[in-house]
Structure 1
């Protein structure tokens, strides 16, 4: 005769979906029950998006090293010299080897072993550019690449993989869903883990930060899953927030917030003193690599002007690597912008009148509004360039940790499956529905408008959450009819 053991839920394990428990009145336990159910469904259905985002993000963190491995002969010089050649000489060498397109900008080396980048605007490349790499010590051309905003083809490929899985604008929905739900899943998990009341260990610091080694089965898996989440929580909140700032729909809402709070970065005034402003459609201004030349039919700026603009910028205090763009038209100044991403960052810009040899305007990083600074630094940290290799290591560790958390979450789902011969199932059942009926009235009064506002700020979160609710209601109605 075989005995059957009915396993009781342990700690914060979700309850079985059937049979549904009767309502026990409104209490704060209803909040916990709702969090358990939402955390479960988000973990099951949103976790694949998070896993893909973590995996592709992990690959992207390796981009600088992969670039050196693949394009090292173009990005770095064979031998570091003592004196760099004038930019005019390097530009002339680049244009002799690549006369196509028009000269858009020049980026000075960021380190003694790096090459100078001469960026050309070639119409047939669309929004991409052709970058020619020149040895600053010998003015010899070391090669060229098709770049996108300064990124190599490999980095661009990895960036597209992480952002949209190479599916264009439609593919961006996956990454925005992941970023929209990441903070929700993490916050819900923290509340459940910190709010459990099973024994003294659960309420101790060690019990929160470390899994219980004596636990077995689903309790051991849950401990690893939750403790890892506690350690990574701040980093995951950061990645979620920064990822949303340049997402498709939530990013638009964030832009509206910046406009309302006057948190945009100050624009550099490139109009020369006394000059007449051009019509709005004559040029779009300096955009990093746009420069003056958008077509092959326009004449290049005088290469000597780049040396003159650089000299004025250095006198104005702009150190490190800089991007120099020629004027867009006769009424505009040259633009020299710092590009030091490693902390402490340097993002000052100056407009230069080359003929007079003076700076006509300046946009200082110190003058950026707080929101603009946080947005800029957040993006750089998300991309792994803010603190150099340390930033890459931290992001890689977070990505691996997130993937492990997801795998442990699915393992818990499998471990909680019914194993009796008369009630076997491949996975555990969802937590019982109807938890919202037990929510305290203050929670409903405050929570419903808050969820609506959140759905407006994060549209994909709102749409997917509404989808979960509709499907859950439909499944509940079908189940109730079958039971009846």
Structure 2
């Protein structure tokens, strides 16, 4: 009986050691793959955090105005922007002045392209230097054009593309997605390896020096930032190329797609009547929508409709989409915060948080996160070089039977994550092939 109990305890200890060595190995591979891209993402992300301050310094004279009496009708600002419109562009949408110091922003797109999101080009005409999506800034008090700017060249859009693709176009977005995928694995395996036990302290110990000190602070910083790391990685993956498609597919299957206005909505054209002008449409939208900065899109054709949507992501609880009859101003469709799905609400909060758009506290948290990521990556490699012996690869030791020691739950989790993050699955396959080659090399008998 005693021998059986001892044998059971020994088997449990062996299994625990095997699994721990496996998680160490996976943690190392995750760091090896993610580090170069994660370093780039951290540095460019820290730069992007300070977008509000940088844009205020760069574009304050276009974004802000000095109040001077009553604002003129919105149509005056739109007419002024149209008169100064660059050749090859057509009016796309308008963001009226929300605060008394805001300028009116009039968005233009290349002729022949469909309306899209700010900061993105649509169609071949967008490749022309003389016909790129452009914003005209107009003083709402005087209807004076304050200036114009190509959307993609505004610092916020430029730094966001630097962060996501190093300014190399969508074809390079895979780099940050690959880093985010393996950062998720680093986070999961790091938590498993850190999880405190009787033999392990959760906090750094005073007086510890050398590699043990690096290890303790590496673990402590990583765990302290684990929640925000999960939020940042998850929200980043939602708008990535491959993982984003998987996430959106799962969202739609789960019935969590955002509400969409029916495509067949039409205005009831009244004989002899003209559609509402910009000011009337803005007034009608403000009567029916939350008090928030909004973007207006004019109707196309006699039966077209006015569309209004919230423009300020810093107030997600006021997010709305509104469709108005072009003649009466009556609502044909409205979806506010209460119509948003749980997934939609989570992303409406998570994405602005990821971008640091909730104010100084949000920027401070993200700066701390970015510096923490840099420390985690650098300290991990410091520990690696302190452990690695000259002439050796320095891979964490993998105990015999480690790969078969993983629990069914571990394998199921790995399969789900690989399906959700295709780049993770593809690169993980290459890691497994490398592991097989290393195993074969170690077992191969030495030749004389």
1:32 aligned onto 2:2:
no
State whether structure 2 residue 110 is matched by structure 1 residue 145.
no
Partner of 2:229: 236
1:248 aligned to which of 225, 238, 241: 241
Once the 2 structures are TM-superposed, how far is the Cα of residue 391 of structure 1 from its aligned partner? Answer: 1.6
The verdict on how the C-alpha distance between 1:68 and 1:198 changes in structure 2, with shifts beyond 3 A counting, is: same
Provide runs of 4+ in structure 1 moved above 3 Å: 23-26, 123-128, 195-199, 434-440, 443-450
Query: Are residue 133 (structure 1) and residue 98 (structure 2) matched?
Result: no
> Structure 1 stretch 47-56 or stretch 349-358: which is displaced more?
349-358
For residues 34 and 317 of structure 2, the distance between their equivalents in structure 1, rounded to whole angstroms, comes to 35
Q: Among 204, 215, 218, which residue is 1:211 paired with? A: 204
Q: C-alpha distance in 2, partners of 1:384/1:445?
A: 39
TM-score normalised to structure 1 length: 0.80
Q: 1:255 to 1:438 in 2, by over 3 A?
A: closer
Alignment of 1:154-303 (within 5 A): 154-198=155-199, 202=201, 208=202, 210-269=203-262, 271-272=265-266
Preserved CA contact (<8 Å) 1:121 1:129: yes
Which of 51, 55, 68 does residue 67 from structure 1 map onto? Answer: 55
The residue aligned with 1:94 is 81
Q: Is the 8 A contact 1:415 1:428 kept in 2?
A: no
Q: Deviations over 1:397-416 (max 9, x none)?
A: 10111011111111111122
Q: Aligned in 2, Cα 1:391/1:436: closer, same or farther, shift over 3 Å? A: farther
Look up the SS of the partner of 1:103 in the other structure: strand
Question: Is 1:339–1:346's contact at 8 Å kept on the other side of the alignment?
Answer: no
Structure 1: distance between partners of 2:14 and 2:376:
32
Cα 1:48–1:217 shift into 2, 3 Å: same
- The answer to whether the 8 Å contact 2:316/2:348 transfers is no
Structure 2 residue 288 is matched with structure 1 residue 316? yes
**1:212 to 1:24, Cα distance in 2 relative to 1, 3 A:** closer
Cα distance in 2 for partners of 1:407, 1:317 equals 49
- Call closer, same or farther: CA 1:226–1:262 in 2, change over 3 Å: same
Q: How many residues align?
A: 415
Which structure carries more relative contact order (alpha carbon 8 Å, separation 6+)?
Answer: 1
1:412 aligned residue (363, 383, 397): 383
Q: 1:455 corresponds to which residue? A: 418
Q: CA deviation at 1:449?
A: 4.0
Number of the residue aligned with 1:83: 70
> How much does 1:166 deviate?
2.1
Q: Please, what TM-score do these two structures have when normalized by structure 2?
A: 0.86
Give the whole-Å Cα distance in 2 for the aligned partners of 1:438 and 1:166. Answer: 40
Rounded to whole Å, the distance in 2 between the matches of 1:93 and 1:457 is: 49
| Match in the other structure for 1:433 | 398
Measured after TM superposition, the shift of residue 85 of structure 1 is 1.4
Please list the CA deviations of residues 337-385 of structure 1 after superposition, one character each: whole Å capped at 9, or x if unmatched: 1222224532112212232232222121211111122123222221221
How far apart, CA to CA, are the structure 1 residues paired with 2:233 and 2:401? 27
CA distance, structure 2, for counterparts of residue 97 and residue 437 of structure 1: 69
Structure 1 residues 435 and 38, CA, compared in 2 at 3 Å: closer, same or farther? Answer: farther
Task: Name the residue aligned to 1:103.
Answer: 91
Give the distance between the partners of 1:97 and 1:165, measured in 2 at CA. 33
Aligned-CA RMSD value? 2.5
Indicate the residue corresponding to 1:468 in structure 2. 431
User: Per-residue CA shift, 1:16-73, capped at 9, x if unaligned?
Assistant: xxxxxxx999622221111111112222332222111111111111122211222222
Deviation per CA, 1:437-472, whole angstroms, max 9, x where unpaired? 4754xx444433442332122111111111111112
Task: Name which of structure 1's ranges 465-474 and 444-453 shifts more when overlaid on structure 2.
Answer: 444-453
Residue 259 of structure 2 aligns to a residue in which SS?
coil
Name whichever of 370-379 and 455-464 sits farther off: 370-379
Q: How far apart are the structure 2 equivalents of 1:197 and 1:106?
A: 62
| Unmatched segments (≥5 aa) in structure 2 | 1-10, 112-124
Cα distance in 2 for partners of 1:237, 1:319 equals 32
Gaps of 5+ in 1: 1-22, 203-207, 276-301, 419-423
Give CA deviations for 1:411-448 in whole Å, capped at 9, x if unaligned.
Answer: 11112233xxxxx45x77212235544754xx444433
Structure 1's 405 and 449: CA in aligned 2 closer, same or farther, altered over 3 A? closer
Distance 2:167 2:82 in 1: 33
SS at match of 1:59: helix
Structure 1 pair 428/347, CA: closer, same or farther in 2 (3 Å)? same
Which sits farther off after the overlay, 450-459 or 30-39? 450-459
- 1-side partners of 2:47 and 2:400: how far apart? 40
